[in-house]
């Protein structure tokens, strides 16, 4: 497939070819009077075109006369008129298709669609080139045949004019452009969608779509993980649970209760636990006998 530079070159050639064909169709000098024989210096120069006949006088006056009668024209002239007009129309259509088929443009669809459009443009340029080449060749043949005819007087002989050469050159440009565009046939390995050469908006939309799909997949994975954790969640046994530490305001009443309980416990019980003998508060503890005797002695 040709590169973008080659396609731009072909587009320029096609544009020049269409402009040249249009100019050649309108020019009145398809054939000009020949300066032969003894009468080389003539006072009048005549020329004929597809639509009018013109004369240039020695005084500098230039006058043209339109060809009103279509049936009075020879066959090659009527054919040249029709084919040149068709060549300009088909070439213009091919130029529009070529603008869509260029790889450097943003419109025209995918890479494969651009290739098909470029091939269609190449076909239009080929038809336009042939339609431009046929009348130029036929017209030139008629002029040369008439010029070589010895029965025709020298003053009535004509030569091919500049419009014929412009038509030949334009046909060559159109055919060259058609060959370049027809080489844009897509290969088999290229898929129907080639986002690398399509419109940037489509590429951005494709990237956004892929990003959205990736986010949806991540959300699904997270939901599955949450469901899996909920199904396999086991509550730890009570023995493994840490003991809840009671606040200090809950400990204070319990400590007070314990202290009150200790106060209300009987001294008997306390002394019994210590291994001592209990004496009632109402009864005095007996004094030691020996100590009592000693006190009596002093008394």
Domains within the chain, CATH numbers bracketed: 4-188 (1.20.140.150)
Concatenate the DSSP letters of all residues of 231-298 into one string: HT--PPPTTTSPPPPPPHHHHHHHHHHHHHHHHHS-HHHHHHHHT-----TTSPPPPPHHHHHHHHHH
CA distance to 100, 284, 293, per residue, from 289 (Å) = 138, 14, 6
- What is d(CA 52, CA 179) in angstroms, rounded to the nearest whole number? 35
Burial of 45: CB neighbours in 10 Å, binned 0-12, 13-18, 19+ = middle
The predicted pLDDT at position 191 comes to 46
Task: Identify the sign of the CA torsion 4, 10, 16, 19.
Answer: negative
Q: Give pLDDT tens digits along the chain (299 positions).
A: 567 788 889 999 999 999 999 999 999 999 998 775 544 445 578 889 999 989 888 777 888 889 888 888 888 899 999 999 999 999 999 999 988 888 777 765 677 778 888 889 999 999 999 999 999 999 999 999 988 888 888 777 889 999 999 999 999 999 999 998 888 665 554 444 444 444 455 667 777 888 888 888 888 888 888 877 777 655 555 555 455 555 555 555 555 555 555 455 455 454 455 454 544 554 555 544 454 445 555 45
The pLDDT of residue 222: 84
Q: At a CB cut-off of 8 Å and minimum separation 6, what does 94 contact?
A: 14, 120, 121, 122, 123, 124, 125, 127, 128, 178
CB 50 within 8 A of CB 37: no
pTM above 0.85, yes or no: no
89-93: Cβ within 8 A, 24+ apart: 90/124, 90/127, 90/128, 90/131, 91/14, 91/17, 91/18, 91/21, 91/124, 91/125, 91/128, 91/174, 92/18, 93/124
Q: What is the pLDDT of residue 114?
A: 80
């Amino acid at each position: 497939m040709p590169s973008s530079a080659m396609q731009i070159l072909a587009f320029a050639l096609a544009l020049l070819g269409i402009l040249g064909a249009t100019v050649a169709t309108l020019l009145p000098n398809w054939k000009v009077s020949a300066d032969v024989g003894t009468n080389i210096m003539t006072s009048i120069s005549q020329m004929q075109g597809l639509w009018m006949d013109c004369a240039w006088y020695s005084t500098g006056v230039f006058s043209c006369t339109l060809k009103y009668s279509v049936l009075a024209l020879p066959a090659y002239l009527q054919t040249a008129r029709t084919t040149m007009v068709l060549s300009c129309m088909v070439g213009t259509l091919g130029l529009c298709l070529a603008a869509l088929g260029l790889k450097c443009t943003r419109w025209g669809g995918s890479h494969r669609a651009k290739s098909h459009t470029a091939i269609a443009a190449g076909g239009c340029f080929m038809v336009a080139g042939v339609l431009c080449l046929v009348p130029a060749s036929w017209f030139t043949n008629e002029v040369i045949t008439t010029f070589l005819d010895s029965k025709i007087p020298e003053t009535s002989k004509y030569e091919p004019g500049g419009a014929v050469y412009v038509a030949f050159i334009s046909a060559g440009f159109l055919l060259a452009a058609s060959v370049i565009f027809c080489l844009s046939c897509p290969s088999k390995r290229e898929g129907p969608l080639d986002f690398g050469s399509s419109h940037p908006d489509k590429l951005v939309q494709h990237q956004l779509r892929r990003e959205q799909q990736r986010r949806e997949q991540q959300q699904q994975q997270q939901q599955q993980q949450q469901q899996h954790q909920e199904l396999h969640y086991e509550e730890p046994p009570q023995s493994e649970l840490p003991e809840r530490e009671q606040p200090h305001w809950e400990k204070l009443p319990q400590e007070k209760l314990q202290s009150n309980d200790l106060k209300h416990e009987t001294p008997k019980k306390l002394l019994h636990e210590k291994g001592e003998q209990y004496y009632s508060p109402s009864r005095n503890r007996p004094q030691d006998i020996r100590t009592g005797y000693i006190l009596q002695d002093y008394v």
